[in-house]
Amino acid sequence: MKPQAVARILDANLDRAREGLRVLEEWFRFGLEDASCAGECKAMRQALARWHSDPLRFARDTPADPGTQLSHPQEVQRRDLNHLLQANCSRVQEALRVLEEYGKLAEASHWVAPGLAKLAQDMRYRLYTLESELLGGSLRQRLAQAHLYLVTSPVPHWLDAVEKSLRGGVTLVQYRQKTLSDSEKLRDLRQLRQLCNQYQALMIVNDRVDLALISQADGVHLGQTDLPVPCVRQLLGSHKLIGLSTTNAEELAQALAADVDYIGVGPVYPTPTKAEKPAAGLEYVRLAADKAHIPWFAIGGIDTQNLWQVREAGATRVAVVRALMEAPDPTQAARLMLGELLPPGLPTFT
């Protein structure tokens, strides 16, 4: 047994857990304005601080610690807010596990009073729930701010069209590709993930839960004949986004009762993307405007020429394919559409 080594381990992980909790607390406080969760993080920090006694601090020997020179490339950069939050959730959970295990050893040897191991265990289980609330809250907050949703199509230079749309203010992109092999889709998704990270946009995968998980997408979009929502939620977890297409009042009611984060409403106009489906029309848009209590996107044949009609029917969010993917200037087209959609006082990216 090396009491000095155990003391150094406890000291380092008390520091690590408290630092990570502070990062999470700040986003709960300022990003999500969630006083309850921010207060819970603060209470956990203070509870750990009471165990951070002088004997543990005095055991610290930073110059002789070989671990200060070890790092991983992912620790040097944060690709987006979600990555930052997830990294710090993991940091706290790992530190709490170390405190739990070495705390048992220290308690058995009477180097620390009983209670540290149990405290760390209880906190670790609570962190799993907080992580879901934190990451889910972050994604859903960004979803609530999205007004123009781009669904990709297999046009030449499709990624270039996506980037130009992102420059125009698009903040939500769905990858939809039916003809490529899985390996080709995964290649596309990895490129799209980098692009969405660069522009701080959400990335959704059409239908495929497996590809969404592998590509670290922010969620999936489901059709009426895809996997049931409860199964998808079980696979994705509570913090990822799920969207569901609807075409009529019955499907809308079922979607509103399901565990989804947003709804597609349409097709509003005839569209080759859904050639087999008759247009639901503006009346269905008016119904969604009256009934929906979660974000919803009108979709189907919407472009810069008819957007005003959809807007007058009550839509404040729309999803488009050809209007951007096949536009001569996707950046300008996105700006024009956002100028019509964004509430007064918000930037129009012009």
* Active-site annotation holder among 142, 208, 274, 335: 274
Known catalytic membership, residue 274 = yes
* Active-site annotation holder among 215, 245, 317, 335: 245
CA nearest neighbour of 306 among 344, 271, 277: 271
* Active-site annotation holder among 176, 233, 286, 322: 176
Mean pLDDT of 269-282: 84
- Contact present, 267 and 299 (Cβ < 8 Å): yes
CA 75, distance to chain mean position in Å, is 20
- What the block records as the tokens of 34 is 């969630």
Known catalytic membership, residue 16 = no
pTM reported for the whole predicted model: 0.73
- What the block records as the tokens of 141 is 């907050």
Looking at every residue in the chain, the average pLDDT score rounds to: 91
Examine the pLDDT at 76 and tell me if it is beyond 90. Answer: no
Mean pLDDT of 67-72: 56
Where does 3-141 sit in CATH, by number? 1.20.1260
Contacts for 301 with CB less than 8 Å, ≥ 6 apart = 267, 268, 269, 270, 271, 279
Looking at the chain, which residues constitute the CATH 3.20.20.70 domain(s)? 145-341
Looking at the structure, give the CATH architecture of the domain made up of residues 145-341.
Answer: Alpha-Beta Barrel (3.20)
CA nearest neighbour of 187 among 215, 149, 207, 218: 215
Q: From CA 24, how far away is CA 341, in angstroms rounded? A: 33
* Whether residue 267 has a cis bond before it, omega within 30° of 0: yes
Looking at the chain, which residues constitute the CATH 1.20.1260 domain(s)? 3-141
Residue 124, CB-side half-sphere exposure with 13 Å CA sphere: 17
SS3 content of the chain, % helix, strand, coil (to 5): 60, 10, 30
Examine the pLDDT at 69 and tell me if it is beyond 70. Answer: no
What pLDDT is stored for residue 96 in this prediction?
97
- Residues 14-43: pLDDT tens digits? 999 999 999 999 999 998 888 989 999 999
- Residues 183-222: pLDDT tens digits? 999 999 999 999 998 998 999 999 999 999 999 999 999 9
Known catalytic membership, residue 104 = no
